[in-house]
Amino acid sequence: MALPQDRPVRGGRQLSVPDWTWIALTVAAASFQAARTSAQKWLSGRISTDAATYVRYLFALPIALAYALILTFAFGAVLPVPTLGGLAWAATGAMSQIGGTWFLLKALESRNFAVGVAYSKTDVVQAAIFEAVVMGAAVTWGAAAGIVIATLAVMLIAAKGSEKPLRALIDGLGEPSAVYGLLSGASLAVSGVAVRGAVLALDDGDIAAASVVGLLMVLTIQVVVMGLYLMVRERTAFLSIGRAWKASAFAGIVGGLGSLCWFWALGLQQVAYVRTLGLVEILATVMLSRFLFKESPQRRELIGIAILLVGIALVLNAG
């Protein structure tokens, strides 16, 4: 499967991974993210929302560091030295991801929170637009159709509590929850584009090494920034994390494994393609909810998943 955009490789060495590697990495990343979401769902009520968000960075950092050491000492990889350009991309990705989470929490606090969550799912469409503007990496018309179909599917799934979800989305467009949702989607879209920018800025022929260095930079910034925030606003968060350290560590570890896959996939493929395929997280989440929390999927969710798979199929075919 050819990449929609040729990725420059420096240093004279060509990557030896198959073209479909990004697909396997993205599906793995989405599965790990669904497991992390389930763990954070279990943590809710036991620790605060900010603390539950922090564990995804705190416990993911040592996972990324361990992977970097394995690459270096077991496989002889040479980790690239961070550049100013790579650091700028990483800082943008780190802060925009935190911003995306903050706007999503504001949407959840709003009256019509389901609409806000639904509009946050527009991050894939926004990522395609931002990537085309910033990096000049446009998608094909077939992929664009698939992205729109997949996005509408997850929006309809997310708009819970309404018998007419499409009408609810239209009527709720001017509400604060929708604005927060759109801002959350925009922030997450910028984060995805910035992550790809960071990895490509560091790439010297070994995309795996570049992706883990990019991840280490992003996680370090997030751990420091959010750690300082918690020290000022919620010092008890560290005690609550300590009391629930097993579940917190699990959430952070699977989140870290997911991030490793995300960063590597984003180094290999355009953001719009990766993020669209990453929507299979919805399917993994429904399955985990069924087996872990005994929550049966609604008919609308099943229809939405079927439509989502159609959209993903169009994207993969176009790629």
At 243-254, the pLDDT tens digits run 988 888 998 899
Mean pLDDT along residues 152-176:
73
Mean pLDDT along residues 66-89:
93
Residue 132: how many CB atoms within 10 A of its CB?
A: 15
Backbone angles phi, psi at 73, to 5 degrees: -90, -30
In angstroms, rounded to a whole number, what is the distance separating the alpha carbons of residues 83 and 152?
38
The CA-based angle 53-54-58, given to 5 degrees, is 135
Please give the pLDDT value at position 161. Answer: 58
Residue 44 pairs in a beta bridge with 47
Mean pLDDT along residues 291-304:
69
pLDDT at 104 exceeding the cut of 90: no
pLDDT at 57 exceeding the cut of 90: yes
pLDDT at 105 exceeding the cut of 90: no
In angstroms, rounded to a whole number, what is the distance separating the alpha carbons of residues 140 and 41?
37
Between 19 and 132, whose confidence is greater?
A: 132
Mean pLDDT along residues 127-136:
91
14-39 pLDDT, tens per residue?
346 788 899 999 999 998 988 887 78
Mean pLDDT along residues 88-106:
91
Please give the pLDDT value at position 280. Answer: 86
Residue 18: how many CB atoms within 10 A of its CB?
A: 10
Which of 69-78, 141-150, 288-297 is predicted least confidently?
Answer: 288-297
DSSP annotation string for 125-170: HHHHHHHHHHH--PPPHHHHHHHHHHHHHHHHHH-TT-SSHHHHHH
Domain ranges of the chain: 21-36+48-318
DSSP code of residue 174:
G
Mean pLDDT along residues 267-280:
91
pLDDT at 186 exceeding the cut of 80: yes
pLDDT band at 178 (very low <50, low <70, confident <90, very high): confident
In angstroms, rounded to a whole number, what is the distance separating the alpha carbons of residues 90 and 13?
24
Q: Are 175 and 111 in contact (CB under 8 A)?
A: yes
Mean pLDDT along residues 186-194:
95
Mean pLDDT along residues 125-135:
92
* pLDDT over 90 percentage in the chain: 46
Which of 20-29, 124-133, 302-311 is predicted least confidently?
Answer: 302-311
Q: Which two tokens stand for residue 95?
A: 């802060």
pLDDT band at 2 (very low <50, low <70, confident <90, very high): very low
Between 226 and 292, whose confidence is greater?
A: 226
pLDDT at 261 exceeding the cut of 60: yes
pLDDT at 13 exceeding the cut of 50: no
